[in-house]
A and B are shown apart, each in its own frame.
Chain A
Amino acid sequence: MGLSAVTVLGVDRPGVIAAVTGSLADCGANIQDSTMTLLGGHVAMMLLVSGDLSSEQLVKQLDTLDLVVTASAVDARRHFGCKAGGLGYVLTLHGPDRPGIISAVSGVLASVGGNITGMSTRLTGRLYVLIADVDIPEPVDVAALMCDLATVGSGLDLEITFRPVEPDLL
């Protein structure tokens, strides 16, 4: 059984997800992890799909829909289905929109080996908002990292908070 990473992009309309997932079910493909959102009125979907079909066959299977589809064979990576190894933090950022915000902030995180494991950005009016889930390796000096983030943030007129993930214990 192979594993493929499938991306789907198209104009949003009722029934898009039903069409994609129905087409995959028809050929016996099994959707594992997936995420979907609307970006500027477009459906953007990413799926990990397992089954007997190759990536090329999956693209052909979805080709009849009015969507842009790509598929690539992937290996299950080290973190697949496992907890991340470091400390979980949430970075929130908001301020006036300008080019280079994500690049500047993600660069600070990358410089200490921080890994962004999830990210949402939204622009509404002049306000740019970024929320990122970040995995930080344990030896990192978090206080120094927060100073670096604050320095970058103030240079871009951004308000930045960086705090530990609240546990989802029930």
Chain B
Amino acid sequence: MKRAAGRARHVLDAPHPILSTAAEQVDPADPNVVAAAADLLATLRVEPSLTGLAAPQIGLSWRLIAFDARRHPRSRSGAGELVVVNPLLAQAAGWRGGREGCASITGLTAEVRRATRITVHGRLPGTGDPVTIDADSFEARCIQHQLDHLDGLLFLDRVPRALALHRKLHSCDS
């Protein structure tokens, strides 16, 4: 199936009610969902430092995530550029802290504990084919961050202590 080009959309800034709301499951074959997947990918491509986005960040309370962690220096696994519909975290292991930021929260980063090895199941937009992603290291962190968005959570909700919150001072801070 030929993939639509998609249209880059505005990324919402927190605070915004959509970013604090659990997103809904969608039909991966629905043309509107396919179009949204293309838009999510187009938005992700706009900013080269972005490694992932979730549909609520572009104003859609749907369970869609897009990611491409290949260019990040802390990446090991690399599923490549991917949009996943209704993703579900099936396995998580090897918890470790690491600093992360968010396209919807400019100016802040925090140390957040995430699993370093995960397995995620979901569907591909359009065909609805099942997809399984085994990710580790930074890609695993990136995917978990996007999954949180689908549950209305921000990385701020996982900050482990007062001194783990930081003002972003450097471009490499996330």
**Chain A residues at the B interface, C-beta cutoff of 8 Å:** 38, 90, 92, 94-96, 118-120, 122, 124-127, 129, 131-133, 157, 159, 161, 165-166
Contact = CB atoms under 8 A, between A and B. Distances in A.
Task: Name, among B14, B110, B161, B163, the residue most crowded by chain A CB atoms within 10 Å (CB to CB).
Answer: B161
Contacts of A118: 161-163
B19 to A, nearest CB: 9
A159 B157 contact: yes
B160 A90 contact: yes
B162 A127 contact: no
Interface string B81-108: 0000000000000000000000001111
Nearest to B159: A131
Interface string B130-174: 000000000000000000000000101111111111010000000
Contact of B105 (A96, A120, A124, A132): A124
Given A92-B157, A157-B15, A161-B157, A124 B163 contact: no
A124 B156 CA distance: 13
B106 A124 contact: yes
A127 B165 contact: no
B113 interface: yes
Contact of A122 (B14, B108, B160, B163): B108
A127 B154 CA distance: 12
B13 interface: yes
Interface in B1-33: 13-15, 20
Given A127-B15, A159-B154, 10 more contacts: A38-B167, A92-B156, A92-B157, A95-B15, A122-B167, A127-B108, A129-B165, A131-B165, A132-B162, A159-B15
A96 B162 contact: no
B161 A133 contact: yes
A90 B110 CA distance: 14
26 contacts: A90-B159, A90-B161, A90-B162, A92-B157, A94-B156, A94-B157, A95-B15, A118-B161, A118-B162, A124-B105, A124-B106, A124-B167, A125-B13, A126-B15, A127-B15, A127-B108, A129-B108, A129-B156, A129-B165, A131-B161, A133-B161, A133-B162, A157-B15, A159-B154, A161-B157, A165-B160
